[in-house]
Structure 1
Amino acid sequence: MDGNRRFAKANKIPTKEGHLKGFQSLINMLEWCLELDIKAITVYAFSIDNYKRPQEEVVTLMEMAKEKIAELSFKK
């Protein structure tokens, strides 16, 4: 999950919206994995360097991740 902020900037949308679109892409990929009966995957979503971002952005990302992971856990 890389480039969501750059995507948002290039498309002149809020950073949060770029991250939401990135999460939706991840959800789509995970659903395909389920359909293909893939039992395990690895998702690299947040590096240590990302903690250098503004605190508000980090908190927003962590809350968004928590929310989306919770949504996924109830899907199937």
Structure 2
Amino acid sequence: MPESKSRRRPTKGPAMTPSSKAQKPNAPWFLPVMVTLMLLGLFWIITYYISDGKFPIPDIKNWNIGIGFGIALSGFMMTTRWRS
């Protein structure tokens, strides 16, 4: 019975799989935006508590806390995509 042809390996080292590809570092704007979002969310919440609900938006009352956490959470979500 004849043998089938064997597969040839690449001549320049082992084949790269998608998971072993070197990932590019983040864009230069990524880190400042990430840190700014986290700090902006923190300052939003602190401002709400210090002003006793008069700032940043008085009409939405406790939703200011949700907005602050949402802004900060978006910054923290960016940390999962961080590459140096």
Shorter-chain TM-score tier: 0.3 to 0.5
Q: Larger helix proportion, structure 1 or 2?
A: 1
Computing the radius of gyration over CA atoms, which structure comes out larger, 1 or 2? 2
Q: What is the TM-score with the length of structure 2 in the denominator?
A: 0.34
Q: What is the TM-score with the length of structure 1 in the denominator?
A: 0.37
Q: Which has the higher contact order (CA 8 A, sep 6+)?
A: 2
